[in-house]
Amino acid sequence: MTTNLVLTVIGDDKPGLVEALSQAIANNSGNWLESSMSHLAGKFAGILRVSVADAEADKLIAALQGLSPDLKLLIERAAAGGAAESFLTVTLNLVANDRPGIIQEISRALAGLSVNVEKLSTRCVSAPMSGETLFKAEALLQVPADLELQKLQLELEHLADDLIVEIQSA
């Protein structure tokens, strides 16, 4: 059998962090499956999923925990896949004037429609003409199969007059 581990990692950004993680995983029979990593405010932040034989899982966890004390690491054993429900996967692209609370408003609207956020990437950029700060979000969503995408779009567009929402089936 195989154990899946989900790791979250944060530390001061410097060369060699990914190499140290990958070496610990490879040296302990792990397989790096997927990851997302970024440089945020001078910090290295990442999340990754690793598979390893059940018999090797504790050894891999110990090796990862033995990495640099400056590297904060949280390791969770992933549960086996849950009951399959009927969902549609869609991509969401959203642009609006930036303001405090925008993520909370969007996430509340999504949760109210039983929409699950699979992936989310956000950033703030300067508007081309005005130079004002724009909030941009890209998300992969799991939408209940019985929810009309037009209803989801209208719910998000009602959050603000300046919100541009684009939803596409993935």
Domain ranges of the chain: 2-77, 87-169
Single out the residue of 113, 122, 68, 71 nearest to residue 95, CA to CA: 122
CATH for 2-77? 3.30.70.260
The one-letter code for the residue type at 101 is: G
Phi then psi dihedrals of residue 127, to 5 deg: -65, 140
DSSP state of 115: -
pLDDT at 82 over 70: no
Chain segment 9-33, per-residue pLDDT in tens: 999 999 999 999 999 999 999 999 9
Q: What is the CA radius of gyration of the chain?
A: 20
Same fold, 2-77 and 87-169: yes
Chain segment 45-57, per-residue pLDDT in tens: 999 999 999 999 9
Q: Which residues pair with 163 in a beta bridge?
A: none
- How far is residue 1's CA from residue 76's CA, in Å, rounded to a whole number? 17
pLDDT above 70 coverage of the chain, percent: 96
Angle between the N-to-C axes of helices 57-65 and 17-27, in degrees from 0 to 180, rounded to the nearest 10: 150
Tell me which of 3.90.226.10, 3.30.70.100, 3.30.70.260, 3.40.50.300 is the CATH number of domain 87-169: 3.30.70.260
Q: Which residues contact 23 (CB under 8 A, 6 or more apart)?
A: none
Mean pLDDT of 76-90: 78
Chain segment 29-46, per-residue pLDDT in tens: 999 999 999 999 999 999
pTM of the prediction?
0.77
Q: Which residue has the tokens 């009309």?
A: 148
Across 15-161, the runs of DSSP E, i.e. the strands, are 31-40, 43-53, 72-77, 87-97, 116-126, 133-144
